[in-house]
Amino acid sequence: MEDHKPDVFLIREALRTANVNCDVELAPDGEQAIAVLERIEADETAACPDLVILDINLPRRAGRDVLRRIRHSPRCAATQVVVVTSSDSVQDRSDMAALGATGYFCKPGDYAEFMSLGTMIKNLLD
């Protein structure tokens, strides 16, 4: 769940570079992210995502709210959630960990460093 198109491109590139074979569903704001989760919960045949990549600062609904909703989901509470954000704040890291984030990735300014996100995600999914 990411609203910044250049970051979406980099995330997709990191997944491709790390050979993470996955389907990506984009929710550009927190309201849409929660709607995706509610759609999955309403359909017992729908699978929960293996992993959610979540920005803290989403429009319309904060990433914290989305993570809280995921963790309270009757079906998808165990979904891994990696926070990908520009914030390197100790408080943000602590808050997201307390809410149940699986991982935290601070967006670096360097392309090669950003590509390490793919490896992080691949390791979580393996």
Place of tokens 């990549």: 53
| Single pTM value for the model | 0.89
Beta bridge partners of 51: 80
Burial 22-57 (b: 16+ CB within 10 A, else e): eeeeebbbbebbbebbeebeeeeeeeebebbbbbbe
Question: What's the alpha-carbon Rg for the chain, to the nearest Å?
Answer: 14
Rounded to whole angstroms, how far apart are CA atoms 82 and 101?
Answer: 6
Q: Tell which CATH classification among 3.40.50.620, 3.40.710.10, 2.40.30.10, 3.40.50.2300 matches the domain 5-125.
A: 3.40.50.2300
- Domains of the chain, by residue range, sit at 5-125
Q: Residue-wise pLDDT tens for the chain (126 aa)?
A: 445 678 888 999 999 999 998 888 888 899 999 999 999 999 999 999 999 999 998 999 999 999 999 999 999 999 999 999 998 999 999 999 999 999 999 999 899 999 999 999 999 998
CB 105 within 8 A of CB 88: no
Q: Which amino acid is present at 69?
A: R
